[in-house]
Amino acid sequence: MYNFSYFKEKDRQTLLDVIEENPFTFMTGSYLSGSQVATQIPVLPEERNGELYLQGHFMRNTDHHKAFVKNPNALLVFTGPSCYVSASWYSDPQIGSTWNYMGVHVCRASQFYDR
């Protein structure tokens, strides 16, 4: 995702709305060796005392589970609406076509509960 301040949404409710409307997230992680893992999982958001908690599930003894036990750092990507924007729509012919999209990236060392 482009890391420019003018692309960052600052309204917390807007971010929560994207998460709630798009709960099937793409979660990445890695082993301590650096090998990457990725899983798509449904996530239930819950706010408790002003803090956001995300609860999801993936099967035990999968590559992601094994990596997550050793390294609980994760990145969850919630993909919202997107659309193509044609250069033909602009009055300035020097502006190129683009893809307009919204996504929310959530990362933080996670607490892992193995049930």
Residue 20 lies in domain: 11-109
Give the separation between CA 105 and CA 26, rounded to whole angstroms: 10
What letters, b where the CB count within 10 A reaches 16 and e where it falls short, cover 6-38?
A: eeeeeeeeebeebbeebeebebbbbbeeeeebe
- What integer pLDDT is reported at residue 78 of this predicted model? 96
What's the whole-model pTM score?
Answer: 0.81
| 35 is a domain residue | yes
Q: How many domains does the chain have?
A: 1
Helices (H) and strands (E) in the chain, counts: 2, 5
| 6 is a domain residue | no
| 15 is a domain residue | yes
pLDDT at 80 over 70: yes
Give the separation between CA 27 and CA 54, rounded to whole angstroms: 12
pLDDT at 96 over 80: yes
Q: Which of 109, 107, 102 is nearest to 17 (CA)?
A: 102
pLDDT digits (tens, 9 = 90+) for 10-69: 898 999 999 999 999 999 999 999 999 999 999 999 988 988 889 988 888 998 889 988
Rg for the chain, CA atoms, rounded: 17
